[in-house]
């Protein structure tokens, strides 16, 4: 990889609770980035990074899913409608785990449970209610309609991306890093080994280095 191709692995961060415990942004595309907001899934050390609507909005802004104006507007909505915002967080977590089940099955060539497909359809139908055909400068396009103050809008964006992505040939390029994070390996020789070569990769390399030193001296 060239140095410039690595720059997107160093995103600008927004500090939240603890500067050392930031929500992971790795994953390359929104659907995989969403899966990675849960660490150590199905273990006693499971860590969920999306606990509040504010967490969700900050993460959406950090991965550039939404712009600053949308973030600020939805932040106000979230503060005004606290219960509704908590409901959106529940939907996000359910959608994330549904997408995890689906992607896990697709990667391991296992049959997908009909419950998972039903859940995907339910949220996709909800998102599609806000899409309509319009003539644009680029021709006929599906565009979002009346979503400015919809608190679930960022989730609908992810669901639309997920649907388009999971029907594409790029599904075959999904990989799982040794740390458990998912990423999309679109390198020419399909030899990318880490979700983030600058952090995960260097940790792995230094661990291996110390293990080698230990085995020589010990």
Which residues contact Zn ion by CB under 5 A?
A: 177, 179, 181, 195, 200
* Tokens at 102, concatenated: 């689906």
What minimum distance in Å lies between the beta carbon of 177 and Zn ion?
Answer: 3
Residue 153 or 183 having the CB closest to Zn ion:
183
Residue 73 or 198 having the CB closest to Zn ion:
198
What minimum distance in Å lies between the beta carbon of 182 and Zn ion?
Answer: 9
Residue 112 or 203 having the CB closest to Zn ion:
203
What minimum distance in Å lies between the beta carbon of 13 and Zn ion?
Answer: 17
Point out which residues pair with 133 in neighbouring strands.
Answer: 142
Long-range contacts of the stretch 35-44 (C-beta < 8 A, 24+): 35/96, 35/99, 35/100, 35/103, 35/181, 35/182, 36/181, 36/182, 36/195, 37/96, 38/96, 38/97, 38/100, 39/180, 40/180, 41/100, 41/180
Point out which residues pair with 48 in neighbouring strands.
Answer: 38
What minimum distance in Å lies between the beta carbon of 39 and Zn ion?
Answer: 10
Residue 89 or 200 having the CB closest to Zn ion:
200
């Amino acid at each position: 990889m060239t140095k410039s191709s690595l720059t997107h692995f160093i995103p600008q961060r927004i500090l939240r609770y603890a500067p050392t415990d930031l929500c992971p942004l790795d994953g390359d595309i929104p659907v995989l980035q969403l899966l990675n907001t849960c660490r150590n899934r199905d273990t006693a050390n499971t860590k969920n990074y999306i606990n509040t609507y504010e967490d969700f909005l900050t993460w959406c802004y950090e991965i550039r899913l939404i712009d600053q104006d949308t973030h600020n507007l939805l932040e106000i909505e979230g503060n005004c409608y606290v219960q509704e915002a908590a409901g959106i967080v529940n939907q996000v977590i359910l959608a994330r785990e549904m997408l995890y089940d689906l992607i896990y099955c697709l990667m391991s060539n296992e049959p997908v449970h009909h419950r998972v497909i039903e859940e995907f359809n339910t949220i996709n139908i909800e998102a599609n209610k806000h899409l309509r055909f319009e003539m644009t400068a680029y021709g006929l396009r599906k565009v979002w309609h009346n979503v400015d103050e919809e608190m679930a809008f960022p989730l609908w964006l992810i669901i639309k991306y997920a649907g388009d992505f999971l029907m594409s040939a790029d599904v075959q390029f999904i990989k799982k890093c040794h740390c458990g994070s998912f990423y999309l390996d679109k390198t020419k020789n399909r030899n990318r080994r880490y979700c983030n070569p600058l952090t995960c990769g260097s940790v792995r390399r230094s661990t291996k280095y110390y293990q080698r030193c230990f085995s020589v001296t010990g």
